[in-house]
Structure 1
Amino acid sequence: MSVALTPLSAAHREGVEMLWGDLRVIRCTNLPRPCGREEARARLEQLLSCERGLSAPVLFAVLAEGRFCGIAGCPPIRAEEEIFGFFYQLLPAFWGRGIGFAAAKMALERLEAAFPAAVVYADAAAENLASVKILESLGFSLRRVRPGAFCREGVCGDILDYMRSGGKRGEKK
């Protein structure tokens, strides 16, 4: 399946509303509940504002066969120090097809092209085995485990904190 990234913009609002409005998507995120239209719009605006002033886009819409299927990116934590976060989210209809890995890899490649010394942090709920596998396949190293740090509907699980530094070092093929 053909996967491409395009800079995320307000034009992707409807897709982001579907994404953040789906309980299955947000289940392993920091969103406490599915977003309605206005909340999704406000969150998208806030997300886009974090890349203003950067020399290159770091937030992307993920397209599969030309159709919106999710978002991926590396929002700055401290841009002046080239420290970024990392995330990707896909609509459930696109899960299990390798799109998440492809999108994650492309987002990191674009970040590294613009910011070669970037340090990138990511976390994953330990139960989200697909995301853990993607992070580790892309050369992220486990830094620490935060026991019980992720709670949803009265059930708590571990958060795994990862880091990747200095570009492509350590990337597994």
Structure 2
Amino acid sequence: MTPVLTLEPLSRAHLTETAALWADPAVIRYTNIAAPCTAAEAANRLDCLLDGQRELPAHTAFAVREGAAFLGLAGCPPVDAAAGIYGLFYQLLPACWGRGVGLAAARQVLDRLGALAPSLVLADTVAGNTASVRILERLGFIRTAVHPGAFCRAGQTLDIWDYALRWDGRNGVPD
């Protein structure tokens, strides 16, 4: 059963929740966040996400909720908004892993992104993150590059896989 999620435009009001998310070692395991964030680091990270939203005609970064419960973040911040290029991300609390929340959140974010007429959506994942690989491929993303040994954390060296989804104005997000 697909979870019923709500996407709230990300704001400074989400700082406490995002700080807890980014302080969780399991959440940041396969991200570009090298160590659990302090409150100040989380505030800075949130401000950077919000700054990227300021010039856009629609929100592209969201808090993910199921009912009142905060589950994490998902979004498509601009890589090059003028060219219609955005980058997909999602970071979810471990309690929702394995329930289809990542796929549902990513699908909803991509549906909302359609209003901005994107031409290309990019994503990357660590090769060992099989859940993210499955999500991206179910959404129609195609692997475009492999960066051998580009991810090093806790004594592990893994490949990073780049993905892309070309948007032609007719494609919806696959079910």
* Structure-2-length-normalised TM-score: 0.94
Residue in structure 1 matched with residue 43 of structure 2 by the alignment: 41
Quick check: 1:139–1:169 contact (8 Å CA) kept in 2?
Answer: no
1:171 Cα deviation after fit: 4.8
Residue in structure 1 matched with residue 78 of structure 2 by the alignment: 76
* Structure-1-length-normalised TM-score: 0.95
Listed as ranges, the matches of 1:14-163 within 5 Å are 14-112=16-114, 114-163=115-164
What SS does the aligned partner of 2:152 have?
A: strand
1:4 Cα deviation after fit: 1.1
1:65 Cα deviation after fit: 2.1
Q: How many residues align?
A: 172
Distance 1:33 1:143, change over 3 A: same
1:43 Cα deviation after fit: 0.7
- In structure 1, stretches of 5+ residues that fail to align are none
Using the alignment, how far apart are the partners of 1:140 and 1:170 within structure 2? 12
1:118 Cα deviation after fit: 2.9
The alignment-based identity, stated in percent, is: 49
Quick check: 1:64–1:99 contact (8 Å CA) kept in 2?
Answer: no
What SS does the aligned partner of 1:28 have?
A: coil
Aligned CA-pair RMSD? 1.3
After TM superposition, the runs of 4+ consecutive aligned structure 1 residues lying more than 4 A away are none
Using the alignment, how far apart are the partners of 1:172 and 1:6 within structure 2? 22
Quick check: 2:107–2:173 contact (8 Å CA) kept in 1?
Answer: no
